[in-house]
Structure 1
């Protein structure tokens, strides 16, 4: 009798498990995983090249001087990302709705709208960085002699017009091209860094090398993005009529502003924290802290690139009312990212000390414990990346902004307390707290919203 009961339970449980597993492996999973694979391979290649060039600069300049370079780069990126629009997010959101119309001219005007925002923001950011450095540089630890370094790197900001090409490559499914487009720029960076190291070019030489390679990478992304538009049958956005763009696409600018504010909040935790550590603990501490973050950025980029794959798909799923598929796809990517995060953390634990000695050198040995702590925070942010994509697909960008605002406020409070007391690792502690809060709140928000009926979802 016991055997029959067990057999009956097994007969009922196995089909149930197969059904659950089949529901989890939603349509398009293989294509998404292939796209993720391309992005990860390109990302790791870029990260490896970038880390080699960073190691050259750190070893050649030493902690104190390299710390000055860190402060200049962080300052420029803070100004740029505060003023820059993440136009690829509203472009994808509106383009998936315009696909049903099948009008190349409207798509041309939509991309033109995004391009105007990108170009205007890049110009304002470049000139603002120089002006603000000249006026308020000492507040960020920048001396008058360093303003010229800010001016050098601001040239790269002028070329950073990535919103339209990024959206075009993602919507056309050209993830391989997106992944490898910047390899040439990073190869140039490592070559120039080697020349600077051998010739003892100093701080100015390394800043010129970083500027030239960054500008080349931006130009290449712009070119392949416009080629993707042409292949999709969309005319050149530069030739579109400018009049009436805001009227034809109501809500676009508001969506772009909300994502820009979210980006501004992220800047406080991704770039401005290095400025704070430098101001409180000195340029050498900023160098060690920044180096740990650059190494951990290999994992951080995984989340950004996976979001690039997931966002167009889940936006279409939600727009079409496929809530069950939408939910399964998001959970699937979260599980995959958890595995990636654990693998990276284990690799850093085993190989971190060796890589630091061989790369930047023994003077940066303190980077190891900072790296492990930062990777814990990165794992939490990896988990949150698909949740953020899900919320944006639901047109809940302002909710994402509110969660980002709360997390950032908590980050600032923890960093303000911990950095003066514990040094650079206090910044990593603040990142862990931010990761926990962001991951939990985003999960609660999108999972609750994804329980609504498909008809209601399609109207959301």
Structure 2
């Protein structure tokens, strides 16, 4: 009490109410600096977004050259060639990095380097088989269904050229190696090399007055270069972490060594394939119902909006390994916190993109791509609304996969895909290409509701004890 002598009554009361001991409350900046859960992931997301933004700017420049060099009709044909190949690739290709990350995360503390190399080799073999199958399927579809999809005459054989890029696109093993090692800067900026090559080739072809065949060749060469560079960096990362090359690993009895891996890969592949139906085959649907020129406008709106959607894909790149580890550590609170914070961040990105498009979208489209492509403005606005919904669903989808719920994710994707095609089939003949954008909104809304309800219900039902010292006690930034 003697310490209060000489103080005013108000000051004395304030002094008495202050705890006699204990550390002062950390400031917001200090809590952000100490964050080990949220801050590193947002920093990694910033790196990936910066690299993707640079690649997106270069991609827009490349598309602008292609639209001016080819015109609306030829550009629409060019789009159909690329879309047939990419649709077949994504329908057949295994998303092998997802099961690979989950199995490596479960075994990395106890398994030998040789066993991990065999696990990576398992993923690599799946990648090779699916890439070759996708290339063959693309050629068959072009030859048999080309006229129905808008490809007539010699244009069908352009798919055979781009199929070479599909056959060489092996990314699952390298992608998992880079993600698990935290090489997000590499993932962010490696794509710039291939995009720069594509832009250089497009500028050269435009100056020489070349046509659609040469543009398909340019896209093929740049895609093969990207795949080779990506795999070289992935193999170097494995070597630096002490894991032998998967090419020389023991490949005998892989299904029995890693039970459940193939089933997980098939489930994620089916789920990804269903997403492909709405993200690639939608262009073919528009071409069939509204013609190649409308498909070109629709494709342009989808490619521009994909710049924003990339944030959700990059987010899965960053948080999926951490969510798998958090769930294996029984950290329910950590999973919920990470998902919620990143949903808020992605929501902000989507709102900013929608506002910028509303204010400046039409004049920018006319300036960059030409007056003939200004019709993409309304399509782009509708697509950005759908993208906002998909961005919200992305973290919950990653969390459900980390919880070993690929079958549920697949079932939700099946239902949403049915809803998409029913909506698109009804609306495209009546409203044109924008009907497919409205169908994307229906698709995204269904996934948001299903994934959020399932995720929070699963977290609430789980009664796993939190480990002592888990990251869930970390203060939020």
Same fold (TM over 0.5): yes
Report deviation, 1:356: 0.8
Match of 1:334 among 343, 355, 370: 343
Runs of 4+ in structure 1 over 4 Å off: none
2:439 pairs with 419, 430, 449, which one? 430
In structure 2, distance between residues paired with 1:119 and 1:265: 21
Distance in structure 1 (CA, Å) of the matches to 2:38 and 2:463: 21
Distance 1:295 1:142 in 2: 24
Please identify, of 355-364 and 80-89, the stretch whose mean Cα deviation from structure 2 is larger: 355-364
The alignment status of 1:318 with 2:309, answered yes or no, reads no
Q: Which runs of 5+ in 1 are unaligned?
A: 1-6
Question: Where in structure 2 are the equivalents of 1:224-373 lying within 5 Å?
Answer: 224-373=233-382
Correspondence for 2:210: 201
Matching of residue 40 in structure 1 with residue 46 in structure 2: no
Question: Does the 8 Å contact 1:321/1:454 carry over to 2?
Answer: no
Distance 1:443 1:373 in 2: 23
Deviation per CA, 1:42-64, whole angstroms, max 9, x where unpaired?
11111111111011101211111
Q: Superposition RMSD on alpha carbons, in Å?
A: 2.2
1:90 and 2:99 equivalent? yes
Instruction: Name the residue aligned to 2:126.
Output: 117
Counterparts of 2:377 and 2:145, CA distance in 1? 33
Residue 455 of structure 1 aligns to a residue whose secondary structure is: coil
Q: CA deviation at 1:454?
A: 4.7
CA separation in 2, counterparts of 1:454 and 1:98? 24
Contact 1:162 1:222 in 2 (8 A): yes
Match of 1:408 in 2: 417
Can you list the C-alpha shifts for 1:407-441, whole angstroms capped at 9, x where unaligned? 00000000000000000000000001111111111
- 1:348 offset after TM fit, Å? 1.4
Q: Following superposition of structure 1 onto structure 2, how do residues 205-220 of structure 1 map, counting pairs within 5 Å? A: 205-220=214-229
Q: Which runs of 5+ in 2 are unaligned?
A: 1-13, 19-23, 468-477
Query: Does structure 2 retain, via aligned residues, the 8 Å contact 1:281–1:423?
Result: yes
Q: What is the distance in 2 between the residues matched to 1:196 and 1:91?
A: 40
Deviations 1:317-350 (A, max 9, x none): 0011011111101111101101111111112122
Using the size of structure 1 for normalisation, the TM-score is 0.93
2:463 is the alignment partner of 1:451: no
TM-score, with length taken from structure 2: 0.90
Is the 1:403–1:438 Cα contact (8 Å) retained in structure 2?
yes
Which stretch of the first structure deviates more once superposed, 167-176 or 221-230?
A: 221-230
Aligned length: 445
Change (3 A) 1:176 1:414: same
Q: Aligned partners of 1:253 and 1:86: how far apart in 2?
A: 11
How big is the shift at 1:139? 2.8
Instruction: Assess if the C-alpha contact under 8 Å between 1:104 and 1:235 holds in 2.
Output: yes
What SS does the aligned partner of 2:167 have?
Answer: helix
In 2, Cα distance between equivalents of 1:358 and 1:454: 57
Residues 323, 402 of structure 2: 8 Å contact kept: yes
Is residue 295–residue 371 contact of structure 1 (8 Å, CA) maintained in 2?
yes
Contact 2:142–2:157 under 8 Å retained in 1: no
- Separation of aligned partners in 1, 2:362 and 2:183: 37
